[in-house]
Structure 1
Amino acid sequence: MTGSAGTTGRAPLWQVLAVVVTAYGAGASLAFVSFGAPAIVVLFLPAGVTLSALVLSPRRRWPWILAAVAATEIVVDVSHGMSLGWAAGFALTNTAEPLVGASLLRRYLPAEVDLRRRRDLVVFLGCCVGAGPLVGAIIGGTLLAASLGVPWPQSFVSFWAGDATGVLTVAGCVLAWRYSRDGRSGVTRWVGCVGAAVAATVIGFWPHYVPLFYLPILVLFTLAFSQSLVVTLTAGMATTVTANLMTSTGHGPWAALETSDQLITMTLQLFLTTTILGAWTLAVGVDERDRARRDTSVERAARLRLHALQVLTTDLAKAATSEEIAQAVVREGIGLIADHGSVAIVAPGSGEMVLWTSPSRPAGMAERYRLTPAEGATPQRDVIRTGRHLLHRTQADAAAAYPHLDGTFQRLDINSTICVPITGGDAGALGALSFSFHRENAADADVLAFAEALASLTGQALRRAQIYEREHHATQQLQLALLPALGGVLEGIRVFADYRPADLAHQVGGDWYDVFALPGSRIGFAVGDVVGHQLAAAAAMARLQSALRILAQTAPTPGRVLDDLDRASALIPDARTATVGYADYDPATRLLRYACAGHLPPLLVTGDSAAYLWDGRSLPLGVGGAGHGQGQLVVPDDAVLIWFTDGLVERRGEQLTVSLQRLADAAGSLSGRDAATLGGHVVDRLVGDRELADDTVILCVQFTGAAPVGVVAG
């Protein structure tokens, strides 16, 4: 019984005994004075008092409670003229009866008794209303028959009816109060409901011959539909007491019956018991229906939340960066349990906290708090520092902890908050999730568990994203190292270059460009394309680029440079079928010589026209065949040569001639051009923000004459 004892198990023993003695003595005295002649006790409420005390107390206290009840019974009986011997016999009766009922109840219901459950109700009725009073009626009926000369069957029925009704009304009400979690209603409601039951009973039991005694049934059944079980049972107890008082004072249909007191007792208590049980059963049925609806609603909400969480998990798995992860969480995760919220992530290396807020926040707030310094007191910062969640159940609690945020709490009508860390394993907290609610005490155990589960999913995604971001940064640095730095000064040209990889996951590829000085004040420049757009292609590109620079220092013409590079490509893995365009330019003579090994021709833009240079074409590297020829021309002032890789112009399902014409039209449509302006214009027209299917390089060389000018890199 220890594990199932109620509040009386935690209260001091003397307090429990004081309550039991007071309630038992008052009920026993009321039975003698009000509920019938001294010879026949009709309603015995103390039976329910004793049973309730035993059920709500640990077994170690039962002897004390039963001893106190026995002593109280003897005192009350003797004070009303009963001999000590008979009083001791009734004391035995009124202690054996609740002991049997409580023992049987605890045998079949060792845990808490919830009288809203059908099984618990049946066990309570069978053990406490049936078996316990039956034992008491056998002993008490025998004592009544022996002491007063009343026939034993009548004494038995009278005793059983009075005790069973007392247990049903008092113990049922007390146990419903103790174990019910929804029975604490307002005082006004209690007074109204109990007052309505009493008034209906007085009206129904006042006349002798007008059939109004059914009025309490209507009231109790109405309460069973609309109120909790404890309200219904309390009103039922008030009805029972009032009906017995009215009958004992000569009112109502039972007082007018010309029959024995025992028959009046049995039929009246049977009527009241049936009425209360009917209302009780109805209340249980209504409660089961409501709970089933709530369970269905909760289950539906849980399914929707689970589905949303699955969608969010999928989005987190697809998200490649910290920002994409944070946006997915504020877009799809916060709203699953909260009215507002945010995701805070610690920026690696700086200690600053980057904040993303949910769409429900007012416009402008997201940008206002997007980046917060490492120092300063905020819930997110404190959670990240301590690694433990923060819970504020009311707005006052939150404002007391963070006074500088009180205005924000009031403006957003935030009355409770919870903030949980985004854990990063050995790396510590990576950030924090915050959830804000319009109602107080909104963050219960389920909400906290869901918030922590969401933080765990976010942490897993963030760890993966931060690894990717570190690798991404490293590969970007690698690509920048492989491509030439165009920050120097070359005589007679201006240069614009732009590189865009198709492999956004790594930002590396096989397309390349180069501009470098040659002996004799000449300038060499090249554009190449290695098959593929990942690390292997980038490695082959870097070797080809280095080889071309070295070979160009001694080879007399572009054709000879490509011949030598063709032989060198056999020693470079993944360089076979690479295409290369190479040219050299002499600012003194303005002579441009060029050659293309499988590469698309360069576009020369002069004045208002743009024309491709188709001379000097040959097969790609490593394919074999004849040597590489070349073309040459003297370029006019301010002419611009555009050399590019196929990713700039080619479109799936489109003829190459159409693609090349698009580039020529875009380049020829711009007047007053220089290398940077023309290159940016072409990139915007042909690439824009579209997803690339292939790496793209564009190199624009503006021929300005012999004066040294700067170089521009895009």
Structure 2
Amino acid sequence: MSLSEPANGGLRSDSPSGSERPRPLWLILALVVVTYGTGASLAFLGFGAQSIVVLFLPAGVTLSALLLSPRRRWPWILLAAAATEVAVDLSHGLSPRWVWGFALANTAEPLVGALLLRRYVPAKVNLLRRRDLLAFLVCCVGAGPVVGGLIGATTLALSAGLPVPRSFLSFWAGDAAGVLTVGGCVLAWRHGAGRPVVARAALAAGLAAAATVIGFWPPQVPLFYLPIPVLFWLAFSQPLTVALTAGAATTVTANLMTSAGHGPWAALNTSDQVITLTLQVFLTTTILGAWALAVGVAERDRARWDTSVERAARLRLNALQILTADLAQAATSTSIAEAIVREGVGLLADYSSASVVSPAEDELAVWTAAGRRDDLAERNRRIPLDAATPHTDAVRTGRAVVHQTPADLAAAYPRLADGYRTLGVGSIVCVPIRTADGAPLGALAFGFQREHGVDSDVITFAETLANLSAQALRRAQIYERELDAAHQLQQALLPALSGGLVGIRVSADYRPADVAHQVGGDWYDVFPVPGGRIGFAVGDVVGHSLAAAAAMARLQSALRVIAQTAPDPARVLDEFDRASVLIADSRMATVGFADYDPATGLLRYACAGHLPPLLVTEGGAEYLWEGRSLPIGLGQRQRQQGERLMPHGAALVWYTDGLVERHGQPVTEVMRRLADAAGRCGEREPEGLCRHLLRHGAGAQVLGDDTVILCIQFTGAPYPTVATAAGDLPAGD
């Protein structure tokens, strides 16, 4: 009995339930008449003299028919058994005067056994459960044959003058052996075991009969014990149905061999009653020993099965808790799908995959469990919704897709058959992920190496995971729409660097700290100002949220307007300071503004609380510390500015504090390293310099603050402007 088949021992015997349609009464009665008559005739012809019944198999036939039928049919079954008993007795020459006594004995006996058993086991009888087995032995093998033996012995005493005690022992032993042999087998086979078990039972019966013939053939050589190891081996290694069938074959063969004069019991010089009693006791003890061993093995396997089920349940619960936590933290559809396939294998199956409907609702994006060589999934990373796959079928139909064998899979998905064979997939289930109103979001697929690996528990658990995934995916879709809208908003707020500015080339990049919204308060701007000059600014509004972005947009617009009339950067910041009072959330903002005259190469600059710009020339890099003042909104009356002639080809780097602020590190030290990196770069072309400094300062790490970097190269000639859109720069380049 294997752990994968715990139900082998779960055989039961009961009257038909409401969900099981009973067989027609005429068929039951016909079976009783045929089997009862055959067994009764065999008792007369093969097992002993006319007056002594050694083994009475029909006792088990009648009892089985009663236990497997509704009580309303019991009178008909008993009447059929009695009529058959009378017919067989009369056909073998018994007096019509006494056959009714034997008929009464052989109907009262199964009736008493069935009534008593139903009293203690009213519903299902499991012959591998100790309580049920004990009740069967006491009520059906013990009490019932005692009643039958008393009636039969009394009838024999009156009809043939035989002593009641000796007749009773013979009668009781023969009937008890018949009930144990036939009744046990019929009850065990009641619910069927499939063709493989039937074939094994036939082979086991043949092996047991052969061992019994060999053991009973020589009358003087003590080999009669040979069936014992055979039965015990079968009880240890096979289902109960196989062991009991072999026990029945042993019992019938032993009685036939004894009746034919073979075996140690045939050589005994004693009465037929003693021979009957001792032979049946030996056979009954052997069968009960094998039966007890089968019960012990079944209990062991059941305990192992329960332990494995409990352990699997604990693992699933733990994995489900981990998955729930991962889904709660996952912000995007990709992270949700990866969490599902990562934990889904441990939860349920040998393989797992998850798919998500694309925003255009015309294809599925598919993820498979990490660490598995899933060539099939690699070839189907994105699949059209009209393709034939388990995922697309589940999404289109809204129902679970189940295939239990490789043949089913190949028939349903011929294009995928080779991939399934390569992976060794024997069965799959794919369940849809849908919102509460039925909108499709995707699907979950779980594959098993074994065939018929999908049962009701698997489907229920998969649907539970789908429901969890639906909630997370719905949240992710809302977030992703907001993220896309915020990204577009940020791009709209940041300026488009126009071309045609004389004497400079410029590049810029923006990286928000709030990756959940892609917006913040840092900004940059480059624009022409009167007098042929070029103005450029870098600013930082406190915070990195939508409110900061809104304040940033207003400040940027105000600065552009003020720069058109103010004569120099210091006056620009003075006017800008007064205008900021009217802009919400602008207090403590920092701004750096400069103007550049391409005709003279003069750069004028002023910093309102902002970090100094970094000038990069052939000789190295230095910070421009002149023209510094307090941040916007602190009431400073007059601001200062600095001036510097820009060498041809020099570059100016202006940035926000996100580029140089690091937890646990002094800003001055980080700024020094930034200047060293810029001086060693050897690159003053703005795109390359911008990339280099971002890689040095930020790399792929999550930033603690929004970051803007603006690189201007002073060419002294009318070069076209080169602009890098925010977000286009690879983080790890």
8 Å Cα contact 2:574-2:637 kept in structure 1: no
C-alpha separation in 1, matches of 2:93 and 2:348: 68
For the residue of structure 2 that corresponds to 1:41, the secondary structure is: coil
3-state SS of 1:647 partner: helix
Of 99, 110, 131, the residue aligned with 2:111 is: 99
Question: For the structure 1 residues 211 and 351, does the alpha-carbon distance in structure 2 shift closer, same or farther, using more than 3 Å as the test?
Answer: same
Query: Relative to 1, partners in 2 of residues 1:626 and 1:306: Cα closer, same or farther, differing over 3 Å?
Result: same
Q: Report the equivalent of 1:164.
A: 176
Deviation at 1:648, TM superposition (A): 0.9
Does 1:80 find its partner at 2:96? no
2:183 corresponds to 1:199: no
2:605 alignment partner, SS class: strand
The match for 1:439 is 450
TM-aligned CA distance change 1:591 to 1:627, over 3 Å = same
Tell whether the 8 Å contact from 2:15 to 2:68 is kept in structure 1 after alignment: no
Letter in 2 for 1:389: A
Pair 1:457-2:468 in alignment? yes
Cα distance in 1 for residues equivalent to 2:192 and 2:113: 21
Q: Is the 8 A contact 1:257 1:264 kept in 2?
A: yes
- Secondary structure at 2:720's aligned position in 1? strand
Shift of 1:171: 0.3
Distance 1:708 1:289, change over 3 A: closer
**What SS does structure 1 have at the residue aligned with 2:715?**
strand
Aligned 1:48-197 pairs, distance under 5 A:
48-179=60-191, 184-185=196-197, 187=199, 189-197=200-208
Quote the Cα distance in structure 2 between the aligned partners of 1:255 and 1:679: 108
The residue aligned with 2:29 is 17
- Aligned-CA RMSD value: 2.5
Structure 2 residue 512 is matched with structure 1 residue 501? yes
Quick one: structure 1 residues 398 and 200, their matched pair in 2 at CA, closer, same or farther if it must change by over 3 Å?
closer
Indicate whether 1:259 and 2:259 are aligned: no
Q: Partner of 1:30 in structure 2?
A: 42
Rate the CA distance shift 1:127–1:307 in 2: closer, same or farther, 3 A: same
Q: 1:382 aligns with which of 368, 378, 393?
A: 393
Inter-partner Cα distance in structure 2 for 1:660 and 1:436: 55
Contiguous gaps of at least 5 residues in structure 2: 1-12, 726-733
2:549 to 519, 528, 538: 538
The Cα offsets for residues 306-329 of structure 1, whole Å up to 9 and x where unpaired, read as: 323322332222221111122222
Q: Are the aligned partners of 1:5 and 1:57 in contact in 2 as well (CA < 8 Å)?
A: no
**Which residue of structure 2 aligns with residue 44 of structure 1?**
56
Q: Deviations over 1:278-314 (max 9, x none)?
A: 2111111111112212222232233223323322332
Kindly provide the CA deviation profile for residues 408-462 of structure 1, in whole angstroms up to 9, marking residues without a partner as x.
Answer: 3333333322211112222522111222333322222232223222222222221
2:313 paired residue number = 302
TM-score by length of 2: 0.92
1:114–1:179 CA contact under 8 A, matched in 2: no
Q: Which residue of 2 aligns with 1:351?
A: 362
Matched residue, 2:257 = 246
**Equivalent position of 1:570 in the other structure:** 581
> Using a 3 Å threshold, how does the CA distance of structure 1 residues 214 and 365 change in structure 2: closer, same or farther?
closer
3-state SS of 2:443 partner = strand
CA separation of 1:221 and 1:375: change in aligned 2, threshold 3 A: closer
Which sections of structure 1, spanning at least 5 residues, go unmatched? none
The 1:578–1:665 alpha-carbon spacing in structure 2 relative to 1, beyond 3 Å, is same
Task: Quote the offset at 1:218 in angstroms.
Answer: 2.7
Give SS of 2:534's match. Answer: strand
Aligned to 1:651: 662
Question: Matched residue of 2:503: which SS?
Answer: strand
Quick check: 1:6–1:178 contact (8 Å CA) kept in 2?
A: no
The 1:427–1:137 alpha-carbon spacing in structure 2 relative to 1, beyond 3 Å, is: closer
Q: Is the 8 A contact 2:368 2:374 kept in 1?
A: no
Inter-partner Cα distance in structure 2 for 1:36 and 1:639: 123
Judged with a 3 Å threshold, the aligned counterparts in structure 2 of structure 1 residues 81 and 3 are, in CA distance, closer, same or farther, namely closer
Structure 2 equivalent of residue 680 of structure 1: 691
Equivalent pairs counted in the alignment come to 713
CA distance in 2, matches of 1:374, 1:4: 48
**Deviation of 1:553 (Å):** 2.6
Offset at 1:80?
Answer: 0.7
Shift of 1:335: 5.4
Choose which of 542, 557, 563 in structure 1 pairs with 2:568. 557
Contact between 2:505 and 2:714, CA under 8 Å: does it hold in 1? yes
SS in 2 for 1:525: strand
In structure 1, distance between residues paired with 2:296 and 2:436: 50
> Which of 595, 599, 602 is the aligned partner of 1:591?
602
Change (3 A) 1:134 1:184: farther
Residues 4, 111 of structure 1: 8 Å contact kept: no
Q: Secondary structure at the match of 1:524?
A: strand
**Contact 1:204-1:252 at 8 Å conserved across structures:** yes
8 Å CA contact retained: 1:4, 1:110: no
The one-letter code matched in structure 2 to 1:505 is: A
Q: Which amino acid aligns with 2:483?
A: H
Q: From the superposition, tell whether residues 127 and 331 of structure 1 become closer, same or farther in structure 2 (CA, over 3 Å).
A: same
Equivalent residues of 1:8, 1:53 under 8 A apart: no
- Percent identity, aligned pairs only, is 66
Q: Give the C-alpha shift of residue 568 in structure 1.
A: 3.1
Distance 1:583 1:350, change over 3 A: farther
Higher mean C-alpha displacement, 336-345 vs 390-399: 336-345
DSSP 3-state at the match of 1:669: helix
Structure 2 distance, partners of 1:575, 1:634, is: 32
1:524-575 CA-partner distances (Å, limit 9, x unpaired): 2111112222223223222322222232233222112222222333343332
The Cα shift of 1:125 comes to: 1.1
Deviations 1:579-624 (A, max 9, x none): 1111122333333221101111111223333222111101112233
Distance 1:390 1:216, change over 3 A: same
Q: Give yes or no for contact 1:114–1:180 (8 Å, CA) kept in 2.
A: no
The equivalent of 2:10 in structure 1 is none
SS of the residue corresponding to residue 437 of structure 2 reads: helix
1:489–1:711 contact (8 Å) kept in structure 2: no
Which of the residues 641, 646, 669 maps onto 1:635?
646
Verify the 8 A CA contact 2:344 2:352 in the aligned structure 1: no
| Cα deviations by residue, 1:346-375 (Å, 9 ceiling, x for unpaired) | 111242211122346546654432222233
- Residue 203 of structure 1: how far off its partner (Å): 3.5
Q: Is the 8 A contact 2:14 2:67 kept in 1?
A: no
Measured after TM superposition, the shift of residue 98 of structure 1 is: 1.4
Q: Which moved more, 1:656-665 or 1:249-258?
A: 249-258
Whole-Å Cα distance in 2 between the matches of residues 570 and 181 of structure 1?
88
The answer as to whether partners of 2:500 and 2:718 remain within 8 angstroms in 1 is no
SS of the residue corresponding to residue 85 of structure 1 reads: coil
Mean Cα displacement is larger for which, 508-517 or 613-622? Answer: 508-517
Q: Secondary structure at the match of 1:344?
A: strand
For residues 674-703 of structure 1, what are the alpha-carbon distances to aligned partners after superposition, in whole Å with 9 as ceiling and x for unaligned? 222221222122222122111111011222
The 1:297/1:8 distance shift into structure 2, 3 A limit, reads closer
Secondary structure of the residue aligned to 1:491 is: coil
* Other-structure match for 2:477: 466
Does the C-alpha gap of structure 1 residues 140 and 438 become closer, same or farther in structure 2, counting only changes over 3 Å? same
Q: Provide the C-alpha distance between the structure 2 equivalents of 1:655 and 1:414, rounded to a whole number of angstroms.
A: 58
1:488: how far off?
A: 4.6
What is the DSSP-based 3-state SS (H/G/I as helix, E as strand, rest coil) of the residue aligned with 2:123? coil
Q: 1:583 to 1:667 in 2, by over 3 A?
A: same
The 1:418–1:81 alpha-carbon spacing in structure 2 relative to 1, beyond 3 Å, is same
CA distance in 1, matches of 2:679, 2:565: 36
Quote how far apart the aligned CAs of 1:7 are: 12
Contact 1:341 1:358 in 2 (8 A): yes
Report the alpha carbon displacement of residue 49 of structure 1 after superposing the two structures with TM: 0.7
Of residues 329, 340, 357, the one that matches 1:318 is 329
